[in-house]
Structure 1
Amino acid sequence: MTCVMATVRTPRGSWIAEGLRALRDGGVEAVRIELLAQALGVTRGGFYWHFSGRQALLEDMLDAWERDVTTAVIEKVEAGGGDARTRLRRLFSLAASGDGLLTDLHTDSAVRDWARRDPAVAERLRRVDNRRMDYLRRLFGGFCADPEEVEVRCTLCFTVWIGNRLLTVDHGGRSAAEVMELIQQRLLR
């Protein structure tokens, strides 16, 4: 009797998730096949079942990041329905909750850092940021008639979201969460 053992492969998504974790924690230089395999507890050979090389993994990582911070977020916000203010509140809540890559500002920051050194990544980031801004414009445009006001609110909203993690300031007795709530109230007027 012949015994055949099934080959168990590490799923493609595990390699991508581990690559994104490495990017977040150490920058694009930390996304190395050997280190990823070590972190996953597998051999490097399994990597090549899914990817032709490191560049293919990097592309798939960017695809996953882009999907998670655009399409998936928009779908979550839209799924609950409601008017534009309600959807913006849902978006703000999602951003504050830590749910998914939307709020993984460390990954977003790592992609932004990578984009400073790689024109192709910079173009991808521009596309993602434009899609995010277009969505914000649509939502703010749902209750703001003035296009200039829409652009100001969208830019402030996006800038606060991206830049807030860089601040290490005291807010005069208020918590950062309280200040974010005040900002949201102003933006939703």
Structure 2
Amino acid sequence: MNRPTPTLHRDDPNAEPLVGNVKATRADWLNHARNILITDGEKQVKILTLANRLGVSRSSFYWYFKSREDLLDALLSDWADTNPGAMVRQASLPARSIHAAICNFFHCVVNPALFDTALDFAVRDWARRAPHVRARLDQADHSVISALRDMFARHGYADPEAITRARVLFYMQLGYHSAEVSEPMVDRIAQLGPYLQAFSGTDPDAQVVADFTAYALAAEKGELP
């Protein structure tokens, strides 16, 4: 899997200058470890490999992490905040209608700054081999579904309908990513109205469709603020 190499703090002209003999930050170690996790799997996340990529001594790793297991746990926490965490935050935003609320959630689908699909694949693959990762994954998935259930409840849906619609919305999105569907954004957006109708059971407001269309196209062009 081809993935851009993260920019090191010391090579970023917009970053604060490093102090003293520091050549790599904790974020540098995490960013490169995340890249290896995504491209090669968790077994290849090794201290020496990372040190070589960062151009630093192996011993400097221990300034930031107690052990390799500590680094892997930090990667899981990073994933939990950037992926399921973003979904929970988006589902919890105030919205004038259920259609606008679903579109808030859909921001994660079209904005890679909110949801890293490749990272999600990597963690789910890791969970197949590691029970403790599976437990973290199940907990995170439950938190997203609960947030979506609450989202539907705020807009007048009672259980069991609210929880069922939450599960359909969440698992559909996971399946969409897993199937690696490739289609132009304009084609995907053309289906937004029917999707909103299917997920909510009611016809969406045209303005909601227009607002999300503008957001998605801006995200595709890298024009979001």
> What is the aligned residue count?
180
Alignment partner of 1:87 is 2:111: no
Aligned residue in 1 for 2:110: 96
Distance apart, 1:73 and its partner CA: 4.5
Q: 1:168 to 1:62 in 2, by over 3 A?
A: closer
Asked if 2 retains the 8 angstrom alpha-carbon contact of 1:16 and 1:57, the reply is yes
Instruction: State which of 63, 69, 72 in structure 1 corresponds to 2:77.
Output: 63
Aligned to 1:128: 140
**Given the superposition, is the C-alpha separation of residues 72 and 152 from structure 1 closer, same or farther in structure 2, using an over 3 Å criterion?**
closer
Q: Does 1:115 align with 2:127?
A: yes
Which residue, 167, 178, 188 being the options, matches 1:166? Answer: 178
User: Quick one: which amino acid aligns to residue 162 of structure 1?
Assistant: L
- Over residues 59-117 of structure 1, what are the superposed CA-to-partner deviations in whole Å (9 max), with x where a residue is unaligned? 111111112224445445656x33462333112123212223x2x11111111111111
**TM, length-normalised to structure 1:** 0.81
| 8 Å contact kept, 1:105–1:162 | no
Partner of 2:154: 142
Q: Which amino acid aligns with 2:125?
A: D
- Deviation, structure 1 residue 144: 4.2
User: Comparing both chains, which one has the higher relative contact order based on Cα–Cα distances under 8 Å and sequence gaps of 6 or more?
Assistant: 1
Q: Distance in 2 between matches of 1:168 and 1:106?
A: 11
Q: 1: distance between equivalents of 2:180 and 2:84?
A: 28
Spell out the pairing of 1:9-48 with structure 2 (5 A cutoff): 9-48=23-62
Residues 6 and 168 of structure 1: is their aligned pair in 2 closer, same or farther, counting only changes over 3 Å? closer
Rounded Cα–Cα distance in structure 2 between residues aligned with 1:144 and 1:36: 50
Letter in 2 for 1:107: L
Normalising by structure 2, we get a TM-score of 0.70
Unaligned runs of 5+ in 2: 1-18, 203-225
Identify which range, 157-166 or 120-129, moves more after superposition.
157-166
**More helix by percentage:** 1
**Contact (CA 8 Å) 1:112, 1:125: kept in 2 or not?**
yes
**Structure 1 residues 92 and 126, CA gap change in structure 2 (3 angstroms):** same
Q: Is contact 2:29-2:50 (8 Å) kept?
A: yes
8 Å contact from structure 1 (residues 9, 46) kept in 2 = no
1:109 aligned counterpart, secondary structure? helix
Q: CA RMSD in A?
A: 2.6
Q: Give distance in 2, aligned partners of 1:111 and 1:38.
A: 24
Give 1:146 deviation, angstroms: 3.2
In structure 1, stretches of 5+ residues that fail to align are none
Asked if the contact 2:47–2:68 (Cα under 8 Å) also holds between the matched residues in 1, the reply is: yes
For residues 23-59 of structure 1, give each alpha carbon's deviation from its aligned partner in whole angstroms, at most 9, with x where no partner exists: 1111111211122222323232221111121101001
Q: What percent identity do the matched residue pairs reach?
A: 27
Hey, what does 1:153 align to over in structure 2? 165
